[in-house]
Chains A and B, each alone.
Chain A
Amino acid sequence: MIRSRKAWVWLGVALIAATLLLLPFALSQAGTAWVRIANIALLYVLLALGLNIVVGFAGLLDLGYIAFYAVGAYAYALLASPHFGLHLPFWAILPIGAVVAAAFGVMLGAPTLKLRGDYLAIVTLGFGEIVRIFLNNLSQPVNITRGPQGIAGIDPARIGGFDFSRTDTLLGAVVSGPMKYYYLLLALLLAIVIVNVRLQNSRIGRAWEAIREDEVAARSMGIDTTLMKLLAFAMGASFGGVAGGMFAAIQGFISPESFVLVESVMVVSMVVLGGMGNIAGVILGAVLLAFVPEILRWTVEPAQRALFGRMLVEPEVIRMLIFGLALVLVMLFRPAGLLPSAVRKRELEAERPT
């Protein structure tokens, strides 16, 4: 019995792997735009996994997470674009972005260590907004970030002579820029998932869980809660920074508009919807919330035009309404998320009288 069950699991994994590997080719039949959408979804998955460390593992509700995405993106842009005339190589900037973001994580996390849950959330939200305001305004007196205009002409990812943004023919198949980025993101995603899984099942992961359950007891057992919390912030932030760097490379252009509060909320929604603390759940949540609105946009627009003769409701509005509704409904009916971790399920669905 066990043998055949293991066989089923391997078969499932193989199927998923095959689907993921062939997806860009299938999507590009429908148009390169869909491959780009897949890439954006992958970026969101990276962000959700990073936030999952802070929110899901350590239990610190960070509502300003997008600030780390921004830091990573701007670090990349400043080091590889015409703006300062620097063009550092890709393999160097990505880690630099991660380190800078981690430093920001420690900086933003440090004042929050003694705060209780909801205050922590608000302070992190405040930090996120402060970062955005600074990015928007650091164009005077010295032009560092180019303010609302943003930074354009960012170098694409290049490893050796291989340029990720150009279309090439590999092994007889035509592979466009977005498709190449897809595989790069997929590889990055795999690495980050492995890191997350290993962290979760380690001494550090257990320490985070202990802090989330009962900080006083954790401290009394010798866990340095200050260090652990800062570590959670730093690790989560570093993943955001890496995702930010990729974002800058892929899009070639960044501006503060991409890093508004609503984005932080979206990433939180993905983690919450999918199942806080559960890596598979978080991935599911991110994929759903990234793809579904796009699918809607493609179906709702023509449907509205057919039914009403014009567009009544913009897809953007529908997308946000879905986010809001998802948050409320999940909290009301399934607060531990779609794929809850056993622990969170116990914690959030314990006693619920009328």
Chain B
Amino acid sequence: MDIFVQQLVNGLTLGAVYAIVALGYTMVYGIIQLINFAHGEVVMIGAMVAFTIINLLAASGLPPLAVVLIGTACAVPVCMLVGYSMERLAYRPLRSAPRLAPLITAIGVSIILQHLAMLVWSRNVLAFPQIIPLATYSFLGASITGVQIAILSLCFALMAGLALLVYRTRLGTAMRATAQNPQVARLMGVDVNRVIAATFVIGAALGAVAGVMVGTYYGVAQYTMGSVLGLKAFAAAVLGGIGNIPGAMVGGLLLGVVEALGAGYIGDLTDLCRYGLGPQANCADGGHFILFGSNYQDVFAFVVLILVLVFRPSGLLGERVGDRA
């Protein structure tokens, strides 16, 4: 029980971020049945842009909150532009092509974005400057930092905001209609192209904020941070039910928790010494013979993804994918 609550806290924090990134994947898949491989890179670009600005302003004496906000405010429009361009240039022309084509294009876009970022920022790791005082609070026997609290609150606020957008505004209704049946939506006067572009842009904006959060949480940002994060967030989206917005939120949180608890406990669970099965040499004097340690953490997301797709492909809350036009 000792590490359980701590891992839960960590897992929920990371999971909340996964959820925000997963929203980008799930919205795009729901509306045009495309796995936007490049979304992870958009998140990365958000982090890199924000960190650049934050590092520039770090010494300026402005309050840390303002610095982070300005950094985010710069990252969001950049990412929105990237999202819009990729839709307009790479995906829109392929709207009626067989499914293989846009998927391959998405991979290409992902590679291009990643290496353009490497051109701009080089392989260097950007560090988060020490401007935020480390505030730690105690909670049910675990410690939770101010940053974690901020991330959790922001994520929930964003999720609520998106839900409001999708279920209470005209744009949201148009998005849901287009996701269900683009042809009929077009007949009803919806500008399908604009709606699809808006979906990408909104997803990219969310991704930018997620990028800032991830970077702040880990303290570093690098041009490679997008790919694995993107894959995990996609796994979260599938777990919750692809195309299903509440599903992405649930999937993200759940995946974060599974990953954190898994990484925390798998060492113990696979320690053969605990079962009396390990070799004497290792197990003597309270030693360990761990088959799979916490370094296998990344595997969890992939295993979850594979299990979901094989046993319950529609996800926990059910997928919401309409007929492809």
The answer to A–B direct touch (Cβ < 8 A) is: yes
Residues of A within 8 A of B (CB): 61, 63, 111, 114-115, 117-119, 121-123, 125-127, 129-130, 133-134, 137, 140-141, 261-262, 265, 268-269, 272, 313, 317, 320-321, 323-328, 331-332, 335, 347-348, 351-353
Q: CA separation between A127 and B119, bound complex, in Å?
A: 30
Q: How far is the CA of A278 from the CA of B111 in the complex (A)?
A: 25
- With A122-B35, A324-B112, A335-B101 given, name 12 new contacts (CB 8 A): A115-B310, A119-B238, A122-B238, A126-B302, A133-B299, A137-B293, A140-B290, A324-B108, A324-B110, A328-B105, A332-B105, A351-B96
Can you name the residue of chain B whose Cβ is closest to the Cβ of A349?
B97
- Chain B residue nearest in CB terms to A335: B101
Kindly state whether residue B61 has any CB partner on chain A within 8 Å.
no
Q: CB within 8 Å of A: which residues of B?
A: 33-35, 90, 93-94, 96-105, 107-112, 114-116, 118-119, 227, 231, 234-235, 238, 272, 282, 288-293, 295-296, 298-299, 302-303, 305-306, 309-310, 313
Q: Which 8 A-B pairs have the closest CB atoms?
A: A327-B108, A324-B111, A324-B112, A126-B302, A328-B108, A331-B105, A111-B310, A320-B115
Known: A117-B99, A123-B306, A317-B115. A129 touches B105 (CB 8 A): no
- Check A61–B305 contact: CB distance below 8 A: no
Are the CB atoms of B112 and A321 closer together than 8 Å?
yes
The closest CB in chain B to the CB of A55 belongs to B100
Once the chains are docked, how many angstroms separate the CA of A337 from the CA of B306? Answer: 30
Q: What is the distance, in angstroms, from B301's C-beta to the closest C-beta of chain A?
A: 8
Please report whether the interface of chain A is mostly helix, strand, loop or mixed according to DSSP: helix
Query: Closest residue of chain A to B93, judged by CB?
Result: A332
- Residues of chain A within 8 A of B309, CB atoms compared: 111, 115, 119, 122-123
Q: Are A137 and B115 in contact (CB under 8 A)?
A: no
- For A352, give its contact among B96, B105, B119, B290 (CB under 8 Å): B96
B235 to chain A, nearest CB (A): 8
Q: How many contacts A-B (CB < 8 Å)?
A: 125
Contacts of B103 in A (CB 8 A): 61, 117-118, 121
- Interchain CB contact under 8 A, A327 and B97: no
A133→B303 CA distance, assembly (Å): 12
Are A321's CB and B116's CB within 8 A?
A: yes
Shortest Cβ distance from residue A163 to the other chain B in the assembled complex, whole angstroms:
39
Contact A352 B97 (CB under 8 A): yes
Closest to B270 in A: A141
8 A-B pairs with CB atoms under 8 Å apart are A122-B234, A134-B299, A141-B282, A141-B290, A262-B111, A269-B108, A321-B116, A331-B102
User: Are the C-beta atoms of A141 and B291 separated by less than 8 Å?
Assistant: yes
By beta carbon, the residue of chain B nearest A333 is: B93
**In the assembled complex, which residues on chain B have CB atoms less than 8 Å from the CB atom of A332?**
90, 93-94, 105
Q: Is the CB of B107 within 8 A of A265?
A: yes
CA distance A265 to B107 in the complex (A): 8
A335 contacts B234, CB within 8 Å? no
Contact of B109 among A130, A328, A352 (CB under 8 A): A328
- Tell whether A129 pairs with B111 under 8 Å between CB atoms, given A111-B310, A115-B309, A348-B98: no
Give min CB distance, A195 to chain B, whole Å: 25
Residues in A with CB closer than 8 Å to B227 are 261
Which residues of B lie under 8 Å from residue A313 when comparing CB positions?
A: 119
Q: Which residue from B34, B110, B118, B306 sits with its C-beta under 8 Å from A317?
A: B118
Bound state CA distance, A347 and B96, in angstroms? 12
Residues of B within 8 A of A327 (CB): 104-105, 107-108, 111
Smallest distance from the beta carbon of A323 to chain B beta carbons, Å? 6
Q: Which residue of chain A has the shortest Cβ distance to B307 in the bound complex? A: A111
